[in-house]
Structure 1
Amino acid sequence: MYNNDLINSTLVPIDFSETSLLALEHAAAIAKIIGDKNQLVTLVHVIEGANFNSITEAAQIEAGSRDALAIEGAINRLHKITEKYTANSTDAVQYKYIVAGGKAYKKIAELAEQLEADCIVMGTHGSSGIQAFAGSNASRVIHIAPCPVVVVREKPFGRGYKNIVLPLDLTKETKQKVNIAVKVASYYDSTVHLVTSRESADDLDKKLQLNLNQVEKYLQERNIKVTTTTLESGSGNFAMQSLVWAQGKEADLIIIMAEQEKGWTEYIYGTYAQQIVNRSPIPVMAVTPRPELAGLIENPLGMGHHTH
């Protein structure tokens, strides 16, 4: 089931590394995009390999548990972080935390499902030795998450998402990310930069250009500033090519689809989107496709939770 309202719940995996705390900075900002009351940001720390129910306060720690010290330490650190963000928040954004045990990427998706989170915001690298936040595992979260996932590597939130890059391909699902771009761009008065790859086959190239033109018109009708670019497919790896191009645009956010069964002739999820997630210094939002909305750019999709 989808919640097509704007975000009211954001989940942030925290391993106390600089990158995961940077992701929290982005999550706090994303919650503010809505500008409505009752926004909730939930921090979750997963103790890899441990087996215990989710804990939200020290009183719940089982006496004699081999993970008691780790749980208590995590709770103390999470409490300080949430206190700091609550004290500094001038908006109606609430912060809470959870400590959980298990396989990190599975537990993150599971909690997102249970909490009906509308978005997950996570760092790509943790420096604590837990591999759950390395690029490949961020991709695992994206594969099974019930909601969009924003992956942050190194870029601070700074001025906001003023430049948004929106790659378009030949998949039916590619336009489903457009309305998210509209919501973010409307809030930050952003410019949306549409980018696609030129196809050698004329019929495919025409379809790409039609997609590009349709999305450009859709954004213009909603008073969103937009640019369009077609990169030459013979210039090398499109993922790396588009990343270099995005950096040249001083992009603050790249929005992609989480799964692509087909796209550019050879660019499927495992080679294009995964490279973007793993290598982009720019925050990436991966949007989970909804098969029933394939090609329906007019549907008010936006960020939202769904069950598989």
Structure 2
Amino acid sequence: MRKVILVPTDFSEICGNAAQHAAILAEVFGTDLCLIHALNHYSRKWLDENSYDEDMIREMLRREASRLTLGREIDVQTLMVSGTIYDAIPEAIEMTDAILNVMGTHGKSGFQHITGAKILRVITAMPIPTLVFQKRNFNHFDKVMLPLNVFRRWRNKLETAIRICRLFKCTLFITETNPGVVHPEEYRNRIEEIARILTEADIDFILVPGQPDGDYDKVILNKAISARIKMIVLMSDEEEGGNHFKPGPWDEKLIFNEEQIPVLCLNPFMHNMFDIGG
């Protein structure tokens, strides 16, 4: 059974942009794509106001699927599921065995207004990784940044980052969120160990020095801008347990960063995304 990338849509420009990026990934990874629309009260209100029935939603999904397959060798499924996006997306994941959820945010023009607060609630409920896009376009992900606290159970995060690099064929930029001011010797030892692990895994990497001062999100974003990062990877701390992404205190600002860099949110114990090829 081919793997599936899931794309929720409210037919806004932002969701269309996310779908376009998901189609590129589907072609690169050899997966199918599934467009899902949650038929909720916003949808029904829009249908009523325009004297349409549910067939209009199906037609809009069909048109979007046709747009995404144009010039590409990918299969695009469509789903319309009754309920809120918080209920419909997990149901769609179960129905399709999806490995990745790709979402657009700040879609003001769509009739469901899939904005930041809703996106964050969806991300934290997902049992699979979520890749968040805004308006900005990216054709490839050759540079990926991972903020990493080397004093806080980092090994599984690093192993997951290695798998991401192999999947996207990218260079990994690691920026430390705790630059080792208090324990400089232990910090140096861990940085050396991380470098050794990445070298043995044959991963191209760059260690970006951390900063002891400043707002965490602004520091990370400035480093991402300087390095021309194409995707930021945020991972829950392992001790949080479970199989869902749990954002840290600064993660929300990074997810909706003003530079519109795409952000991949996951728990290091999520393995769905790396099962591509089956």
Return the TM-score normalized by structure 1: 0.74
The answer to whether the aligner puts 1:96 opposite 2:77 as a matched pair is: yes
**For residues 146-157 of structure 1, what are the structure 2 equivalents within 5 Å?**
146-157=127-138
Mapped contact 1:177–1:256 kept (Cα < 8 A): no
Of residues 35, 44, 47, the one that matches 1:43 is: 35
Q: In the alignment, which residue of structure 2 is the partner of 1:247?
A: 225
Aligned match of 1:77: 60
What amino acid sits opposite 1:125 in the alignment?
H
Matches of 1:146 and 1:124, distance apart in 2: 19
SS in 1 for 2:252: helix
Q: Is the 8 A contact 2:221 2:254 kept in 1?
A: yes
Query: In structure 2, how many angstroms separate the alpha carbons of the residues matched to 1:258 and 1:106?
Result: 23
1:1-308 map, 5 Å: 8-35=3-30, 39-49=31-41, 69=52, 71-90=54-73, 93-127=74-108, 128-131=110-113, 133-158=114-139, 160-169=140-149, 170-172=151-153, 174-179=154-159, 181-186=161-166, 189-199=169-179, 202-203=182-183, 209-234=188-213, 236-258=214-236, 269-279=247-257, 281-290=260-269, 301=271, 303=273
2:71 is aligned with what amino acid?
N
* CA distance in 1: counterparts of 2:76 and 2:172, whole angstroms: 30
Percent of aligned pairs sharing the same letter:
22
Asked whether the 8 Å contact 1:190–1:225 carries over to 2, the reply is yes
After superposition, what is the alpha-carbon deviation per residue over 1:47-84, rounded to whole angstroms, capped at 9, x for unaligned? 333799xxxxxxxxxxxx99993522221111012123
Q: TM-score, normalised by structure 2?
A: 0.81
In the comparison of the two structures, how many residue pairs are matched?
264
Would the aligned equivalents of 1:254 and 1:285 in 2 still touch at CA under 8 Å? Answer: yes
SS at match of 1:246: helix
Q: Which amino acid aligns with 2:176?
A: T
Q: Structure 1 residues 26 and 87, CA, compared in 2 at 3 Å: closer, same or farther?
A: closer
Counterpart of 2:273 in 1: which secondary structure? coil
**What are the ranges of 5 or more consecutive residues in structure 2 without an aligned counterpart?**
241-245
Is the 8 Å Cα contact of residues 51 and 101 (structure 1) preserved in structure 2? no
Residues in 2 aligned to 1:195 and 1:237: alpha-carbon distance in whole angstroms: 14
CA RMSD after TM alignment: 3.2
Conserved? CA contact 1:164–1:181, under 8 Å? no
Q: CA deviation at 1:155?
A: 2.3
* Deviation of the 1:228 alpha carbon: 0.3
Decide whether the 8 Å contact of 2:3 with 2:97 is kept in 1: no
